[in-house]
Each structure stands twice: as structure tokens, then as C-alpha cells.
């Protein structure tokens, strides 16, 4: 497992891990910042291991309430959104802008599945984020296959063959209490092509019979997206900058 979980780190994220601010549990101390404002700087002030933990425990996150464990196998170099999204999704997200995009790819305990998790830190204020969230909800944009996020495929890992054609299930969430769009997209580690990808919400429904649903790939995408979102919210609410 250690060999399979080799880590590919971007220079910006290495810097964050070494010199970035640490997070204290005591949010009442001097300099404490909360919520939306705190989240704006997290892409460079929080160590990568806190945004994308090396191991993520998913208690009850699998089909039938089974437990899941995911291991991080790659972290993309932090940067802009230039080639990180298909053109149509890039257009939909354009109103909130792109300050920074952070991505990491995980594999499950059996190394059968791979999932990329993304944190898009936007340039938007709370009103713009709320507007985009309403549009996603009203038009069900999170269910459209032409708006699936792209995966991050890292050479020399189980995700080396994880390209656009291998996307099987996905989840995307526009936050309104932070300037962040959280997403995850999953597929098989063997690089098989997927003809009919399915949004995680549908793939997780009882009785779903598609290949992504039967393989639990909806649970993979939703489980990791949920945990990334919870971790971000927790840290934004308790972030206190201190010397590392």
C-alpha cells in the first residue's frame, strides 16, 4: 500500500505544508477569524494535509452503510483553473472567478476505485456564491453529465489512466458560507471507459442498477466530497493563524 500511495506534491502546496499557518482548536483567542472571511485565505494558509488528509475514514459512507477508508495518492500542483474544467463547466463557474484550485486524488482500500477531490477557491463575495448556488439548485446543474468535473490523473499512481472518459460518478457543491466550490469525481482504477456516468445522488439510490451504482462509485464521490466540505467548514470556523 505504501508504494501505491506515493505522493505527488505541487510546489505551492509543499510551501503551505512547511510554512503555512496552523489551525488551533481555541477559536476565542486573539486573531481568530471565522466563516466566509477565514475561508478566503485557506488555500495558502492551511497545510495540505489538513485540506486533503493522507487517509480519510468514511464511517458508514459505503453502500449499505459499510465503512470506507481512502488513501491519498496524489496532490496536484496548486494553480489556476485553465485546463481543469471542461469548457461548459468553466463557463458556468465564471461568475464567481477562480482564485486558486486545489485537487487531490484518492484510492479506496482495495485500490479498485480512484476519486479526485477538488476545492475551487473563488474570487466571489457571499452574494455571488449564493446566486450561483441558487442557479445550481434551480437548474439541477449538479446532475448534468456535460458539467462533470475533470479528474486529476497522476503518473506512477493507481490514477494514471483516470481521464475524462473514465469518469463514472460525481458530486459538486457550491458553498454559501465560504467562497469555495467542492467537488469529487470517481472512476475505476483499471482505466475502463464509462459510457453512462451517473451523478452520485442517483447512483446512491436504493435499487440503482447502473455500473457506477453497483460498484459504489456514487458513494465514493459523495463520501469524499462530504468529508472535504465538512473539514473546510470546520477549519474556516476555527482558523487561528499562528507561527508554524
Find the mean pLDDT for residues 34-52.
89
List helix spans (H) across 25-181. Answer: 35-40, 42-45, 48-51, 87-93, 126-139
Pairing mode of beta strands 180-188, 169-174: antiparallel
pLDDT at residue 60, rounded to an integer: 85
Give the percent of the chain with pLDDT over 70: 83
Instruction: Please state the pTM of the whole predicted model.
Output: 0.83
Find the mean pLDDT for residues 87-113.
96
pLDDT at residue 9, rounded to an integer: 35
Residue 96: pLDDT over 80: yes
Cross-strand pairs, 113: 188
Q: Is 108 within 8 Å of 160 (Cβ atoms)?
A: no
Find the mean pLDDT for residues 165-190.
97
Q: Is 53 within 8 Å of 228 (Cβ atoms)?
A: no
φ and ψ at residue 152, rounded to 5 degrees: -110, 110
Q: What value does the mean pLDDT of the chain take? A: 85
| Cα 107–chain centre separation | 13
Distance (Å, whole) CA 183 – CA 56: 16
Q: Is 141 within 8 Å of 131 (Cβ atoms)?
A: no
Residue 33: pLDDT over 90: no
Pairing mode of beta strands 55-58, 198-199: unpaired
- Write out the three cell numbers for 195: 459510457
Q: What share of the chain is helix, strand, coil (3-state, %, to 5)?
A: 35, 20, 45
Contact residues for 160 (Cβ-Cβ < 8 A; gap 6+): 153, 154, 191
Reported as a pLDDT band with limits 50, 70 and 90, residue 38 is confident
pLDDT at residue 210, rounded to an integer: 94
Amino acid at each position: 500500500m505504501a508504494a501505491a500511495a506515493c505522493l505527488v506534491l505541487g510546489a505551492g502546496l509543499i510551501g503551505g505544508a512547511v510554512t503555512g499557518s496552523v489551525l488551533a482548536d481555541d477559536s476565542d483567542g486573539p486573531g481568530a477569524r471565522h466563516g466566509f472571511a477565514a475561508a478566503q485565505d485557506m488555500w495558502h494558509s492551511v497545510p495540505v494535509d489538513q485540506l486533503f488528509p493522507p487517509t480519510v475514514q468514511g464511517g458508514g459512507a459505503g453502500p449499505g452503510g459499510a465503512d470506507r477508508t481512502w488513501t491519498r495518492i496524489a496532490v496536484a500542483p496548486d494553480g489556476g483553473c485553465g485546463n481543469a474544467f471542461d469548457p461548459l463547466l468553466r463557463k458556468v463557474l465564471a461568475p464567481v472567478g477562480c482564485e486558486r484550485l486545489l485537487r487531490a486524488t484518492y484510492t479506496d482500500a482495495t485500490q479498485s476505485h480512484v476519486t479526485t477531490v477538488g476545492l475551487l477557491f473563488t474570487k466571489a463575495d457571499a452574494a455571488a456564491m449564493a446566486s450561483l448556488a441558487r442557479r445550481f439548485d434551480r437548474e439541477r446543474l449538479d446532475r448534468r453529465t456535460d458539467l462533470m468535473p475533470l479528474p486529476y490523473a497522476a503518473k506512477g499512481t493507481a490514477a494514471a489512466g483516470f481521464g475524462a472518459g473514465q469518469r463514472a460518478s460525481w458530486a459538486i457543491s457550491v458553498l454559501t458560507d465560504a467562497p469555495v466550490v467542492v467537488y469529487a469525481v470517481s472512476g475505476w482504477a483499471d482505466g475502463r471507459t464509462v459510457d453512462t456516468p451517473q451523478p452520485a445522488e442517483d447512483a446512491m439510490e436504493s435499487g440503482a442498477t447502473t455500473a457506477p451504482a453497483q460498484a459504489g462509485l456514487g458513494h465514493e464521490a459523495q463520501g469524499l466530497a462530504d468529508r472535504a466540505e465538512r473539514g473546510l467548514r470546520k477549519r474556516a470556523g476555527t482558523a487561528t493563524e499562528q507561527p508554524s
